[in-house]
Amino acid sequence: MFENIIIGINMMFSLGNFFAALVGVTIGMFFGAIPGFNDIIAIILILPFTYYINPIASIAMLMGCSKGANFGGSIPAILFNVPGTTQAKVTSFDGYPLTKKGQSEKALKVALYASTIADTASDFILFFLAAPVSILALMVGPPEYAMIILFSILIIGLVGSEDLVKGMISIGIGMLLSTIGMDPTIGSLRFTFGSLELSSGISLVSLGLGLFVISESFLQLESCIMDKKIKSSKKIDKVTQFKKVDQMNDQHLSKKEFRRCIRPIINGIGIGSLMGAIPGIGTTVASYLSYARTKNTSKHPELFGKGAIEGIAAAEAGNNACVGPNLIPLITLGVPGNMAAAIILGAFMIQGLTPGPLFMQQNAPMLYGLFTLLIISNVFTFSVGSLFVRYCKNLAYIPKQILYPLVLVFTVVGTYIFNYSMFDVVLLFPLGIFGYVLTKINIPIPPLVIAFILGSIFETRLRQALIISAGSISPFFTHPISLIFLSASILTIAFYIIKKKQQRASKIDNVL
């Protein structure tokens, strides 16, 4: 292990790798700071550009983007009570009241320190836990692997959906789209309708950009058309008003105040790391739990929600501590912990690498190089974050009429340079409209993309397991790990149905 770490660190030390991580962090922070965008859109937007760089730089760029967006989301949440990302909602509970008191820079500093510290700690957890977990993962064969992927698709897909049926439909469509192109075991063509371009299937870049970015741009432009009456000038007045108040107040974060944040940060690291390592839970839940735990154990819980810096620290530490451990199930089992990790899995596959039980053994030096770069990239998060705190507060108010047309153009460039294929660019249009329609009828898109990424792996493992057992499905029920995950999948659906029924019942009670 020690030898692999040394080789990995040597592999990692190059200007190109550092630059890639820095670019990732900056782009992530930029998109995170703009409401309507999030870490997933930012990662998908830069995904095509990573195709041409080495795996360490490519994954570090995407992970850097995720880290940057996680912090970036807190900037508009603190300044304007408009969270840039969903997980940043919790940060606004105390961040916005602090802004109203004229201490926005202090709030942003707390968020930045907490994010960076938690992120660094979570990267160390990844560094030291990935190898031991990968040894356990070697016990996994095709039937177990198929059931783990099924469980992963279900849990990630359903946790984010409001409705079981719609989540299942989204997963089904994603898996169906993954079957277009070459059959993964035999190699014959399926659903290509005679098109040569479709023989290698729909590219992840076209699908991701079309369904997430193009459809989101259409939706945002539509909302911009409908909300024409809301003039941005009012909001700008609000910003300048806060600026005036800010200038009169003390923005310095004292040592005493920082010491008050240490316990919430430690809470956040513990909760976030645990939540990050479990597939499907995600950053939003982690930041809520971390905030709730800190509030419940605080001597002054009454101050929470009114501008307590501990609240900001807990929320930010909770969501950022998920980033590193999220890679543990991905690297050791090939199972992504959330949507961002699913896209990073796609990026590994684009680079010709397939994460799974043997991945850590076969690529240990490269992975240790990557982990080290992730730890170092926190320095970039801190430095770029400090600049954003000072100079980029108004990113949230870039007019949508200017921003989204530019995004459409950047999306087209990104898609084209990925394969130099106009076919991929043309696909953006139907996929964008498809994403728009799905959003309009409330069918969630993330399960579709996750099922698309995992669909071909699931099919390969399922068919391998059936070939080994001569067509019998008994291995899925007789192998202990497979049975555990099959039962967990069924329990997930059952739990989901019960939870939704309870929510409906409580809603009806509230109405009555």
Partner 1 sequence: MDRQFKIFGVLIIFCLILWFFLIPNQTKGPKEAFFPKIITIWLGISAIFGLLGKSRFPNKNNLSLKNEKKGTLKIIFIMLFFFIYIIMIYLIGFILSSFLFLIFIMLFLNIHNWKILFLMPTVCILVIYVFIEVILKFPLPKGIFLRFL
Indicate which single residue of 18, 96, 218, 485 sits in contact with partner 1 (rule: CB under 8 A).
218
Burial 421-435 (b: 16+ CB within 10 A, else e): beebbebbeebbebb
Q: In whole angstroms, how close is the CB of 209 to partner 1 at the nearest point?
A: 13
The answer to the question of residue 425 lying near partner 1 (CB under 8 A) is yes
Q: Which stretch binds partner 1 (CB under 8 A): 28-36, 296-304, 381-389, 428-436?
A: 428-436
Indicate which single residue of 223, 241, 478, 487 sits in contact with partner 1 (rule: CB under 8 A).
223
Indicate which single residue of 6, 136, 138, 225 sits in contact with partner 1 (rule: CB under 8 A).
225
Q: In whole angstroms, how close is the CB of 191 to partner 1 at the nearest point?
A: 5
* Count of residues that interact with partner 1, criterion CB under 8 A: 58
The answer to the question of residue 504 lying near partner 1 (CB under 8 A) is yes
The answer to the question of residue 185 lying near partner 1 (CB under 8 A) is yes
Q: Based on the number of CB atoms within 10 Å of its own CB, is 25 exposed (0-12), middle (13-18) or buried (19 or more)? A: buried
Structure tokens at 12: 């990692």
Interaction residues for partner 1, span 5-24 (CB under 8 A): none
Q: In whole angstroms, how close is the CB of 458 to partner 1 at the nearest point?
A: 8
Burial 282-304 (b: 16+ CB within 10 A, else e): bbbbbbbbbbbbbbeebeeeebb
The answer to the question of residue 173 lying near partner 1 (CB under 8 A) is yes
Indicate which single residue of 139, 236, 262, 422 sits in contact with partner 1 (rule: CB under 8 A).
422
Q: In whole angstroms, how close is the CB of 297 to partner 1 at the nearest point?
A: 40
Q: In whole angstroms, how close is the CB of 452 to partner 1 at the nearest point?
A: 12
Q: In whole angstroms, how close is the CB of 406 to partner 1 at the nearest point?
A: 5
Give whole-number Cα distances, 62 to 26, 235, 247, 337, in Å: 11, 32, 36, 15
Q: Are 42 and 407 in contact (CB under 8 A)?
A: no
Q: Per-residue x/- mask for partner 1, residues 260 to 299, rule CB under 8 A?
A: ----------------------------------------
Q: In whole angstroms, how close is the CB of 407 to partner 1 at the nearest point?
A: 10
The answer to the question of residue 193 lying near partner 1 (CB under 8 A) is yes
- Identify which of residues 213 and 364 has a Cβ nearer to partner 1 in the complex: 213
Indicate which single residue of 14, 81, 86, 192 sits in contact with partner 1 (rule: CB under 8 A).
192
Indicate which single residue of 5, 156, 175, 205 sits in contact with partner 1 (rule: CB under 8 A).
175
Q: Are 400 and 224 in contact (CB under 8 A)?
A: yes
Structure tokens at 364: 């240990």
Q: In whole angstroms, how close is the CB of 294 to partner 1 at the nearest point?
A: 36
The answer to the question of residue 166 lying near partner 1 (CB under 8 A) is yes
| Cα separation, 48 vs 273, whole angstroms | 29
Q: Which residues pair with 35 in a beta bridge?
A: 37
Residues 6+ apart with CB under 8 A from 112: 71, 382, 385, 386, 389
How would you write 407-426 as a 3-class SS string?
Answer: HHHHHHHHHHHHHCCHHHHH
Using CA atoms of 410, 411, 417, 421 in order, give the dihedral in degrees to the nearest 10: -140
The answer to the question of residue 165 lying near partner 1 (CB under 8 A) is yes
Q: Which stretch binds partner 1 (CB under 8 A): 33-41, 54-62, 77-85, 165-173?
A: 165-173
Q: In whole angstroms, how close is the CB of 469 to partner 1 at the nearest point?
A: 14
What stretches of 446-485 adopt beta strand conformation (E)?
none
| Cα separation, 274 vs 172, whole angstroms | 30
Q: Based on the number of CB atoms within 10 Å of its own CB, is 57 exposed (0-12), middle (13-18) or buried (19 or more)? A: buried
Please report where in the chains the tokens 């645990």 appear, as a residue: 274
| Cα separation, 323 vs 70, whole angstroms | 9
Interaction residues for partner 1, span 98-157 (CB under 8 A): none
| Cα separation, 418 vs 416, whole angstroms | 5
Q: Which stretch binds partner 1 (CB under 8 A): 13-21, 189-197, 199-207, 346-354?
A: 189-197
The answer to the question of residue 442 lying near partner 1 (CB under 8 A) is yes
Indicate which single residue of 409, 473, 494, 498 sits in contact with partner 1 (rule: CB under 8 A).
409
Q: In whole angstroms, how close is the CB of 437 to partner 1 at the nearest point?
A: 10
Indicate which single residue of 7, 9, 129, 176 sits in contact with partner 1 (rule: CB under 8 A).
176
> What is the C-alpha R_g of the chain?
23
Please give the distance of CA 226 from its chain centroid, rounded to a whole number.
30
What number of H helices and E strands is found in the chain? 24, 2
Q: One-letter amino acid identity for 458?
A: F
The answer to the question of residue 197 lying near partner 1 (CB under 8 A) is no
Q: Which residues bind partner 1 (CB under 8 A)?
A: 52, 163-166, 168-169, 171-173, 175-176, 179, 183, 185-186, 188-193, 214, 218, 221-226, 228, 399, 401-402, 405-406, 408-410, 412-413, 416-417, 420, 422, 425-426, 428-429, 432-433, 436, 441-442, 459, 462-463, 504
